[in-house]
Structure 1
Amino acid sequence: MKQLQVDVAIIGAGTAGMTAYRSALAHTRNVLVIEGGPFGTTCARVGCMPSKLLIAAAEAAHTAQHAGAFGVHAGPLRIDGEAVMRRVRSERDRFVGFVTEAVEKWPAEHKLHGHARFIDEHTLQVDDHTQVRAARIVIATGSHPTVPTQWRETVGDRLLINDDVFSWQTLPKSVAVLGAGVIALELAQALHRLGVRVRLYGRSARIGPLTDPALQALTRELFSRELSLQLEAKNLQLRREGDEVIVQTEAGEGRFEWVLAAAGRAPNLRGLGLENTHLPLDAQGVPRFDRRTSQIGDSHVFIAGDANSDLELLHEAADEGRIAGDNAGRYPDVRERPRRAALAVAFTDPQIMLAGRSHLELCHDKVSFETGEVLFEDQGRSRVMLKNQGALRVYAEHGSGRFLGAEMIGPAAEHIGHLLAWSVQRGDTVQQMLDSPFYHPVIEEGLRTALRFLQRSLRMGPVPVERCLDCGPGA
């Protein structure tokens, strides 16, 4: 059994782990990264980048199919499934290559392959070949798709997770998507636009990440125009008949070539041996940690990225890795780091975004706030591009006029979300935002309309309580 002694051990070499490594090196060269699978990031390998490659192909197909509305006719649409997936895999491999090249440049003594498990507070057992004694430890083990065991047993090799999609050699004929979150929506719409027969099943009436009740209703309406949706699917049952999977609900049954399980993700903590430590855990077995320091309790152990089950987004994982690695390197001189304003985007069409504090968070915290809104149906630039769907709702603090956050489903949400997250982080007031330049004609003029509406509400609304009357159950 090989014995190693290090200042900082980092479990996991994804986005959070790689960033933690670079941050810890600023304090000590005696750092070890332990990885049980391939070195690299979920984003590049099976997440953000390959999914956007598939979505880009779907957008090209959708644009070609609807070009006639502009008087442009290019002939019958033909989708080459093998060519679509060949580009997805090729570009995916290119992105993964950038990550693995970076890891290959690390000193060999800084890398160890194997699955780590806590033996005690400071000792990690890595497979059956190495014991690592670490003064400080960073947990950056990532997450995995959650799939009920019964589904796997029933469906067998006809059950997919999103990781599997990007290894396809060609596009399938039909897919049932189980889930109604961001991953499910993005993949369901992309596959549908590429000619795959798709039906999306959701357990509740919710679809996507938006929390504003008005926008939730609009989201359901917009996606139901294009996709086959079965929300509030009761008593969902799966069964296998040959090479087909039958999805049975109270509303009837559907037959599909594949079933894609996209109902959420869970942190990779099982088998980590946390029970052999005194680290504080929540009811789900996730370590309790401080978001400003990444420290678990008052211990020498830190946690970052999807493993903490907080905000499963790449930029958040990178920030958390930076905080965790820095504090692990300088421990016991643990320092608080400010977190950036929240920003989340779904690359559906229309796009979806949340910036700053959500409607649900504001209502839950009993914040006194006002709401402004714009509908994009008649917004100038949106109509020019035939992207005139959706709405933006913006929130500001009653009394001070400080901008708090926004939710949106509509055109260019990925860009407008950045503008609004920056305003939240700076602490802008609505008036300061309106004093900024707006060009013509651009989609951002719709944002100005919503802000003007919000400013009028702030001036006129003496009783902000009514703004929470539509929060819905559990708000």
Structure 2
Amino acid sequence: MNDCYVNKLPSESKTHIAIVGTGSSAFAAAIKAAEEGAKVTLIEGAKIIGGTCVNIGCVPSKIMIRSAHISHLQSSHAFGGISLNQPQINRAKLVKQQQARVEELRHTKYESILDNNPDIELIRGWANFEDAHTLVVKQGKGSEIRLKPDKILLATGASSAVPDIPGLSESPYWTSTEALVSKTLPKHLVVIGASVVALELAQAFLRLGSKVTIMARSVFLSKEDPAIGEGLVTIFEKEGARVMLDTLPKSVSHDGKSFVLSSKAGEIRCDQLLVATGRNPNTEQLMLGKAGVQLDNKGAIIIDDHMRTSVGHIFAAGDCTNQPQYVYVAAAAGTRAAINMTGGDAALNLSAMPAVVFTDPQVGTVGLTEAEAIKRGIDAESRTLSLESVPRALANFDTDGFIKLVADKNTGRLLGAQVLSAEGGEIIQTAAIALYNQMTIKELSNQLFPYLTMVEGIKLCAQTFTKDVKQLSCCAG
């Protein structure tokens, strides 16, 4: 065995920080730590750097979703004076364009940073703890590097979770990783799952021309306000998807050509199966028990709002932790972890964290639902505004969805917002800023919103707490 033992890297006067992983939280931390004067060692065992978002998550999925949206507009728009057209889809060409942009962004946002920052070094290999202060990096062919850094950040991300369904593991199913780079479109795609990734990809494949069946353990987006899931089911079925709620396969088999899924609704055959039932934190290989780092019952690293683990000099950020699995949360956590590892004091406040599901219409949420507020003992009330009352939606001939605001009945303070709307991801940020600044419904309704915009629906919904917006003129203040 070839051992290389490193106590501190060359600059002895600098704090040495080792970061396991090279995704968004890892690079955000590395950049900030280097700015603060630290020497950073990034450790990565995978062939490519950049983590989930740029390589197999946010970037390729949003490119695919956009292409599917363009296809849908050609074949299904509401403007009678423009002829409908069934587009010809060249999936291989779309994937080539998509992956070229992925490679471009990976180079610009990750690889070039390594090239241009001498205080950030990359070591290739898989890391695990030997003890609380020692990381062993296995590089293959018996070669190992041992590091004893001053601080450690764990940023190892998460991987697709696969449910325990008989026969599934022996079949050639897809996860989102394979689905996003497939150069062919399935004739019939069955999607197991009804959360964010499942619904985004199901609708994308549907709009690109596949027949799609969605099998949900319970309902669509079960953690959100029930009206959101119900609204999406109606929209998906209108577009031609088969939706099977409260139904998972009892077993899965593959005969070399087709998948066969048995269920309480009968046998389902398809030529491709996508499993999108959540993601599990990548923590098993780290041997965290040797370091004394505590995990929750899902294997996620438990951290506080300063990204500290149960061990003082070990921090964690991103999808491997018990924080919400969003890339912007991961990046913010990485930056704050770096500040704290270099002597600062930075907390991450998630009380006004917006979330977006990139279906069409989009889902945007922030803060509490009415049910969550009541469960916390808050005397809450809500109002729901149909998009038929939003002038821009009427002008777009696209009124599917709603905007809902939740408020404290006694103080009028905004508690949360739930949006199912075109441009919902843009709309929700206004609600998030209002929530962060503890605005009241009255204050929100008195703000100036540009006309005609979808975000004006926030103002109109706020006005419904005190008046009937149907009785207002178009842009009444």
Could you state the TM-score of these two structures normalised by the residue count of structure 1? 0.89
Task: Give the equivalent residue in structure 1 for 2:12.
Answer: none
Q: State the secondary structure of the residue aligned to 1:281.
A: coil
2:26 is the counterpart of 1:17? yes
How far residue 108 of structure 1 moved from its aligned partner, in angstroms, is 8.1
Task: Give the equivalent residue in structure 2 for 1:379.
Answer: 390
Question: Residues 335-372 of structure 1, C-alpha deviation per residue, up to 9 Å, x if partnerless?
Answer: 54544621001111111010233345323322222101
Identity %: 26
Task: Give the equivalent residue in structure 2 for 1:219.
Answer: 232
Q: Structure 1 residues 35 and 452, CA, compared in 2 at 3 Å: closer, same or farther?
A: same
2:317 is the counterpart of 1:304? yes
Question: Residues 231-265 of structure 1, C-alpha deviation per residue, up to 9 Å, x if partnerless?
Answer: 11155321111211112211012211111110000
Q: Distance in 1 between matches of 2:188 and 2:99?
A: 20
Task: Give the equivalent residue in structure 2 for 1:463.
Answer: none
Task: Give the equivalent residue in structure 2 for 1:233.
Answer: 247
Q: State the secondary structure of the residue aligned to 1:308.
A: coil
How far residue 223 of structure 1 moved from its aligned partner, in angstroms, is 2.5
Q: Structure 1 residues 64 and 243, CA, compared in 2 at 3 Å: closer, same or farther?
A: same
Question: Residues 180-223 of structure 1, C-alpha deviation per residue, up to 9 Å, x if partnerless?
Answer: 0010000000100100111111111x202662233333333333
Deviates more, 1:233-242 or 1:250-259: 233-242
- Select which of 19, 25, 31 maps to 2:40: 31
Q: State the secondary structure of the residue aligned to 1:73.
A: coil
User: What are the residue-to-residue correspondences of 1:92-241 with 2, within 5 Å?
Assistant: 92-98=102-108, 99-107=110-118, 110-127=121-138, 128-148=143-163, 154-156=169-171, 158-204=172-218, 206-208=219-221, 211-226=224-239, 227-241=241-255
Question: Residues 150-190 of structure 1, C-alpha deviation per residue, up to 9 Å, x if partnerless?
Answer: 5676543x211111123222323221111000100000001
CA contact (8 A) 2:293 2:309 kept: yes
CA contact (8 A) 2:42 2:120 kept: no
Deviates more, 1:231-240 or 1:115-124: 231-240
Q: Could you list the runs of 4 or more consecutive aligned residues of structure 1 that deviate by over 6 angstroms after TM superposition?
A: none
Q: State the secondary structure of the residue aligned to 2:236.
A: helix
How far residue 132 of structure 1 moved from its aligned partner, in angstroms, is 0.6
Deviates more, 1:377-386 or 1:179-188: 377-386
Q: Distance in 1 between matches of 2:17 and 2:167?
A: 38
CA contact (8 A) 1:3 1:132 kept: yes
Q: Structure 1 residues 241 and 438, CA, compared in 2 at 3 Å: closer, same or farther?
A: same
Q: Distance in 1 between matches of 2:264 and 2:32?
A: 53
How far residue 112 of structure 1 moved from its aligned partner, in angstroms, is 0.8
How far residue 455 of structure 1 moved from its aligned partner, in angstroms, is 4.5
CA contact (8 A) 2:292 2:311 kept: no
Task: Give the equivalent residue in structure 1 for 2:475.
Answer: none
Q: State the secondary structure of the residue aligned to 1:307.
A: coil
What is the identity, as a one-letter code, of the residue corresponding to 1:17? A
Stretches of structure 2 lacking an aligned partner (at least 5 in a row): 9-15, 469-477
Q: Distance in 2 between matches of 1:397 and 1:102?
A: 46
What is the identity, as a one-letter code, of the residue corresponding to 1:321? G
Task: Give the equivalent residue in structure 2 for 1:50.
Answer: 60
Q: Distance in 1 between matches of 2:153 and 2:270?
A: 43
Q: Structure 1 residues 343 and 103, CA, compared in 2 at 3 Å: closer, same or farther?
A: same
Task: Give the equivalent residue in structure 1 for 2:423.
Answer: 412
Q: Distance in 2 between matches of 1:393 and 1:210?
A: 16
What is the identity, as a one-letter code, of the residue corresponding to 2:90? D
Q: Structure 1 residues 9 and 199, CA, compared in 2 at 3 Å: closer, same or farther?
A: same
Could you state the TM-score of these two structures normalised by the residue count of structure 2? 0.89
CA contact (8 A) 1:139 1:303 kept: yes
User: What are the residue-to-residue correspondences of 1:235-274 with 2, within 5 Å?
Assistant: 235-274=249-288
CA contact (8 A) 2:76 2:84 kept: no
Q: Distance in 1 between matches of 2:349 and 2:242?
A: 43
Task: Give the equivalent residue in structure 1 for 2:377.
Answer: 366
CA contact (8 A) 2:34 2:119 kept: no
Q: Distance in 2 between matches of 1:435 and 1:108?
A: 50
CA contact (8 A) 1:342 1:357 kept: no
2:327 is the counterpart of 1:318? no
Q: Structure 1 residues 360 and 277, CA, compared in 2 at 3 Å: closer, same or farther?
A: farther
Task: Give the equivalent residue in structure 1 for 2:11.
Answer: none
2:77 is the counterpart of 1:63? no
Q: Structure 1 residues 401 and 149, CA, compared in 2 at 3 Å: closer, same or farther?
A: closer
Q: Distance in 1 between matches of 2:42 and 2:420?
A: 40
How far residue 149 of structure 1 moved from its aligned partner, in angstroms, is 6.1
CA contact (8 A) 1:26 1:326 kept: no
CA contact (8 A) 1:162 1:261 kept: yes
Q: Structure 1 residues 282 and 442, CA, compared in 2 at 3 Å: closer, same or farther?
A: closer
Q: Structure 1 residues 5 and 340, CA, compared in 2 at 3 Å: closer, same or farther?
A: farther
Question: Residues 373-395 of structure 1, C-alpha deviation per residue, up to 9 Å, x if partnerless?
Answer: 10113533212212210111101
Task: Give the equivalent residue in structure 1 for 2:13.
Answer: none
What is the identity, as a one-letter code, of the residue corresponding to 2:106? V
Q: Distance in 2 between matches of 1:119 and 1:415?
A: 46
How far residue 96 of structure 1 moved from its aligned partner, in angstroms, is 2.1
Q: State the secondary structure of the residue aligned to 2:360.
A: coil
Q: Distance in 1 between matches of 2:120 and 2:235?
A: 53
How far residue 452 of structure 1 moved from its aligned partner, in angstroms, is 1.2
RMSD of the TM alignment (CA)? 2.2
What is the identity, as a one-letter code, of the residue corresponding to 1:241? D
Q: Distance in 1 between matches of 2:293 and 2:212?
A: 44
Q: Distance in 2 between matches of 1:183 and 1:96?
A: 21
Task: Give the equivalent residue in structure 2 for 1:472.
Answer: none
What is the identity, as a one-letter code, of the residue corresponding to 1:61? S
Q: State the secondary structure of the residue aligned to 2:285.
A: coil
What is the identity, as a one-letter code, of the residue corresponding to 2:72? H
What is the identity, as a one-letter code, of the residue corresponding to 1:261? V
